[in-house]
Structure 1
């Protein structure tokens, strides 16, 4: 009975998906089993192509060809696309709109695609001549259009992901494979993108949506992955008609009249073609984790691919006489254009990596990077030395006999994929077993070592962890140092400095020539002044200016004694769990939020990131990315945590979760410690500081009040001395007016307020009736205040200049939908 009711629910919810799935699976089966020997003739009649339409008059063939699939594998792929993409579309826009999107985008793709193929054939264009009679058996054509229509109804996060990743994949298939189905899929997707708001009943989204750094890394990593997998698409494609197929062909071991069989003997040439792509795939994965080493590797390989393609196809002045095409010959513009695109695409990817390099700042320890470099270079030098030694010691091992000049001239070709050498004549061939071994295997061995070293480097701990100072920083935190904001110094990307005595540590980031600390030193009170002086000397030795950010008033006399200046940059809201009470009219809103949560079946879940389920992690990621995408500036960093910072081991997460498992809101809390009561006893948590505070769009009104009140009760039971609602950067209460420093602070705050809502955040915190403790920035030279302000903005907005950030903030103000949800 339960199975029947579940089937009915699925049928009611996904009727279009089920009908399309049945047709896609059953049509090829009926054709195969019902018509037997006549299957081939019917398939030729019912499968669409430009020739069957224009010459045969079979106008119905493109439509029937979509549902016939084109074999078992095509039917399976089409069914998978319908199950995943059409069902998601039906859930977003409903059954009627999904059916309309499927029919409209499919029809447009058929009509426009067939017309383009006919026009290109009539004009004599080479691609049009090749595909004119090629059948169209492609179930994914209307699926691509349907998902693009549905993207208009998705949230900012998934709308961007569907469109960017979808078009990147479709373009990769068209560029590297170039089949008619690839063109039709892209036409369907473009029509779905243009008609999506109309069919889905949504207002067109014309405002630029900016990704968080986490999302930027993910998307760029996927783009690099597509470039790495593209040549494999060419290798597997039966016709290789795409404009980038020449780039893929260059990785294919191929026998031509100019290439002797010796160059293609054994598995070595195949490995030499695949291993560079494998290294690029590993680098793409490292890019998704923000690794700077992955950026360097991906940049180098893409530049190498562009350079080799330009050399091989004769675009470089020094390419020599042996080149694939005469660039001066008339009538070869199509071929020349395709070869140029094959050269420019990896160059464009390299440029993209350079433009977004600020998002890849996770470095490994210097000695580990040096060791990896030595391993790769040492292997290359050793392999080259063995190759040269074999040829020099036994010239007769090659035919004709090898000479030093010939060996040195041939050496670079040992490391280049064989396809790049297809048009290069052989100077000699190996004839002995030793010569054949080094001739075929020197290159694959070096690339294999590079692949293994890349994997090792990209899975190594970041430099700040490997240096060991982070562990000491944590120990000093457990001993009671660092105040309410000190735990931010353990976030990814932070640098930790440790005093010579080992009794003080400071966490900081480097922005230009400034070393911006996260907060005050982590040490005992008697160590504070000494730690500040020693850190300032450490910075001075390295040409950096120390700037102590977010320090409390108790530290200002220490900086005054050093002759430093200070400017207030915010207020920290602090609550006392011991005196926490919701009695009184002033707490009516908070009490109402708690009661509302009880009626809605919302409860709290307290856990570390590692203890959450996969579903809870995925929901938190979606909530976080939607929050970022709804603003006009990138996600802020420095002392404001994001999705990456939630995974820190000692960070506590307090979630608002419905009974069905839906996460409504998330808050993260950073611990502070006090010394243990006795030697050998475990440190005791002294307080908690609020960091991330984000809620799902459409969640219960007052869900944040409910979570903060729940945290106060929890902290009270734990015996915590304080709960901090953290600071609102660039927003303050009771600060002095009229000074230059205050005007700069207020100018930045007013510019960013429409995007991040610092003032509204401060007003939100006031309803909990906290005490406000000012935090300031201290610096040695007041003349540098404008440059320090720029560095602070760049620390919060990595990769964005102060001028650019304020310009984007002004644009966001113009398009602001209204009051922002308060958030840290």
Structure 2
């Protein structure tokens, strides 16, 4: 009788755990499929960020393309454009819209690029300017000339002070250095949450092997004092900046020096572009911009929020390097949904003190 009771308990436990084990296996399979598609088709500089752990995946019927998303407060917040063969995008978006409407979700796409807007508009979606991505062209980047002299002076100053740099893929970073980089990142972030749902990674070592790069700055004593963390887009021949934590004691110009050293590494190793920080609403925050009356009102509202969101700080940093600017868009369904999807997007990016995460 006792043995029968144990057998019955074991059967019940197995039955209870079966759905959980199935979900785990399914998620693992989906994540592996997503990694493979990013490796093969992720030419967009935002594509590697689809591999964050807080995202779900929606695949085309033949699993040749996918969207990465998260549901917040009944809004499906999509991270960037579809990844896969462009011929699959139209059918994928059609299926995802139907999937969302079956669940009464609204849709918002963050960081959409201009070349995909026609696909979204064909499905009745609307695009709103979101900001500009600063991109350095490795081959043409130069420190020559008066306009970039401040960056050049920073580089010379840190070199003269005995600062050195090394660029390492995650697999070449040992346990001690990993702990040190983690410590620097935690100290830099302080009590603030980790931000960047669509345009940053959620963990330093989320990507392994050659899918990420750390450009580490060491002080005169040889100890790490800060670093740039890049996601690598092999199909796009690009490095995408995810974070740039440093000690508070580093000298002025430390990050500028690391950016220049990153360009030098990219040039030697055959990468064509480096994507720096995304600058939200850059076109509206530019002092010389010719704006309409409505845009001037929007500019004043954005400047009032800059202390909370550091909107113009990233823009000022990016401008130092004279990058090319690639416009990004927020894509949505209906204008009356903008307040709701805007709040959901801010929550997904951790700019609001709640996540409101729903089930898939």
Q: Cα RMSD (Å) of the superposition? A: 3.4
1:703 to 2:326 alignment:
no
Which whole-Å CA distance do the structure 1 matches of 2:44 and 2:119 have between them?
16
CA deviation after TM superposition for structure 1 residue 718, in Å? 2.4
SS in 1 for 2:128: strand
Rounded to whole Å, the distance in 2 between the matches of 1:520 and 1:774 is 13
- Superposition pairs of residues 318-397 of structure 1, within 5 angstroms: 382-383=5-6
| Residue of 318, 322, 335 corresponding to 1:782 | 335
CA contact (8 A) 1:464 1:495 kept: no
How many residues matched? 343
Please tell me whether the aligned partners of residues 42 and 83 of structure 2 are also in contact (alpha carbons under 8 angstroms).
yes
User: Which residue of 1 is the match for residue 166 of structure 2?
Assistant: 605
1:672 aligned onto 2:233: yes
Query: Is the 2:182–2:204 contact (alpha carbons within 8 Å) kept by the matching residues of 1?
Result: no
Match of 2:36 in 1: 475
Relative to structure 1, the CA distance from residue 701 to residue 381 in structure 2 (aligned partners, 3 Å threshold; closer, same or farther) is: farther
1:724-773 alpha-carbon deviations (Å, 9 max, x no partner): 11412455445965559x84x9746743x224422111111001001111
* CA 1:659–1:503: 2 relative to 1, 3 Å: same
Gaps of 5+ in 2: 356-360
Output the CA distance in 2 between the equivalents of 1:385 and 1:476.
44
Distance 1:476 1:510 in 2: 22
CA distance in 1, matches of 2:133, 2:3: 56
Q: Secondary structure at the match of 1:759?
A: helix
**Residues 496 and 505 of structure 1 are in contact (CA less than 8 Å); yes or no, is this contact kept in structure 2?**
yes
Residues 465 and 729 of structure 1: CA distance in aligned 2, closer, same or farther (over 3 Å): farther
Aligned position for 2:213: 652
Distance change in 2, residues 1:670/1:793 (3 Å): same
Greater RCO, 1 or 2 (C-alpha within 8 Å, sep 6+): 2
In 2, the alpha carbon distance for the partners of 1:655 and 1:470 equals: 29
Which residue, 530, 539, 562 being the options, matches 2:100?
A: 539
Aligned-partner SS, 1:648: coil
In 1, distance between residues paired with 2:22 and 2:312? 38
Measured in 2, the distance between the counterparts of 1:735 and 1:694 equals 35
Alignment of 1:524-673 (within 5 A): 524-629=85-190, 633-641=192-200, 644-649=203-208, 650-658=211-219, 660-673=221-234
Pair 1:689 & 2:240 matched: yes
Q: When you count helix as a share of all residues, which structure comes out higher?
A: 1
Equivalent residue runs for 1:228-267 within 5 Å = none
* Gap change, CA 1:777 and 1:643, over 3 Å in 2: closer
Rg larger in 1 or in 2? 1
Is contact 1:514-1:544 (8 Å) kept?
yes
Give the TM-score normalised by the residue count of structure 1.
0.38
SS of corresponding position for 2:245: strand
Match of 1:725 in 2: 276
Q: Is this contact kept in 2: 1:464–1:494, CA < 8 A? A: no
CA positional deviation for 1:610: 4.3
Task: Report the equivalent of 1:492.
Answer: 53
CA 1:497–1:737: 2 relative to 1, 3 Å? farther
Which residue of the partner structure matches residue 81 of structure 2? Answer: 520
Normalised TM-score (structure 2) = 0.83
Spell out, residue by residue over 1:56-77, the C-alpha distance to the aligned partner (whole angstroms, 9 max, x if none): xxxxxxxxxxxxxxxxxxxxxx
Contact 1:568/1:735 (<8 A) preserved: no
State how far apart, in whole Å, the 2-side matches of 1:735 and 1:642 are.
Answer: 35
Matched-pair contact (CA < 8 Å) for 2:137–2:273: yes
Q: Deviations over 1:396-429 (max 9, x none)?
A: xxxxxxxxxxxxxxxxxxxxxxxxxxxxxxxxxx
Partner of 1:760: 313
1:715 and 2:266 matched: yes
Q: 2: distance between equivalents of 1:639 and 1:559?
A: 18
Q: Deviations over 1:320-343 (max 9, x none)?
A: xxxxxxxxxxxxxxxxxxxxxxxx
